[in-house]
Amino acid sequence: MPDYTLIYFNARGTAEPIRWMFSYAEIPFNDDRVEKDDWAERKNSIPGGKLPVLLIDEKPLPQSQAIARYIAKEAGLMPEDNLDAAYCDALVDTVRDVMEKVYAKMMSEDDEDERKRWFQEEFFPSHMAPVLARINARLGDREWFVGEQVSWADFMIAHAFGEIHSHHSEAFEDYPAVVEHIEKVRELPAIKDWIENRPETTH
């Protein structure tokens, strides 16, 4: 097995579902967390100057989705069927479209009141609710999003929407299947164990 080092900030962010996949498959990895104050110095040594980067036997692989897709395959979380794998990609890309708006807002200079207004009046009704409605209906009584087994799409969705749910649970009232699914992924023994023991961070 290669030697893995996942470099990211001391935060959950886009690295966290990758950490979940390592944990789920019991693949050892170095969880290299860069503190904000050290970033300016380390940035120059990171190809592309952005995180996360996965070092695979010291060779860097950038881009969170590429890393997640690669580790999903190593972890047995990628459906073998080509069409099922494409459904996973489509779900992950859909979530990514939504989360990019959240990340952009987090990076903005807006104050707390403006962020609340944006969430309630713009983001949730126009971007989040339509996606939640679709994926809630898609889940229905199914256990996992694609096929009969847990996949990386389950991890990516449960992590991203779980983060939003943890701050805005009231907004998820009409989407019970999504809430149940977030819990189901977080209750997988390896994920539960990771969450209980991971470093505590604000986001």
Nearer to ligand GSH, 51 or 157 (CB): 51
Quote the CA–CA distance of 57 and 133 in Å, as a whole number: 42
CB of 179 to ligand GSH, least distance (A): 26
Q: Is 64 in the site for ligand GSH (CB under 6 A)?
A: yes
Query: Binding segment for ligand GSH among 49-57, 148-156, 157-165, 170-178 (CB under 6 A)?
Result: 49-57
Q: Is 51 in the site for ligand GSH (CB under 6 A)?
A: yes
Quote the CA–CA distance of 54 and 64 in Å, as a whole number: 9
Q: Is 203 in the site for ligand GSH (CB under 6 A)?
A: no
Nearer to ligand GSH, 60 or 76 (CB): 60
Q: Is 13 in the site for ligand GSH (CB under 6 A)?
A: yes
Q: Is 9 helix (H, G, I), strand (E, B) or coil?
A: strand
Which of 83, 171, 184, 176 shows the shortest CA–CA distance to 135? 176
Q: Which residues pair with 86 in a beta bridge?
A: none
CB of 102 to ligand GSH, least distance (A): 11
Which of 55, 12, 20 shows the shortest CA–CA distance to 194? 20
Identity of the residue numbered 75: A
Which of 176, 127, 182 shows the shortest CA–CA distance to 154? 182
Nearer to ligand GSH, 71 or 139 (CB): 71
Q: Is 125 helix (H, G, I), strand (E, B) or coil?
A: helix
CB of 151 to ligand GSH, least distance (A): 19
* Residues forming the site for ligand GSH (CB under 6 A): 13-14, 43, 49-52, 63-65
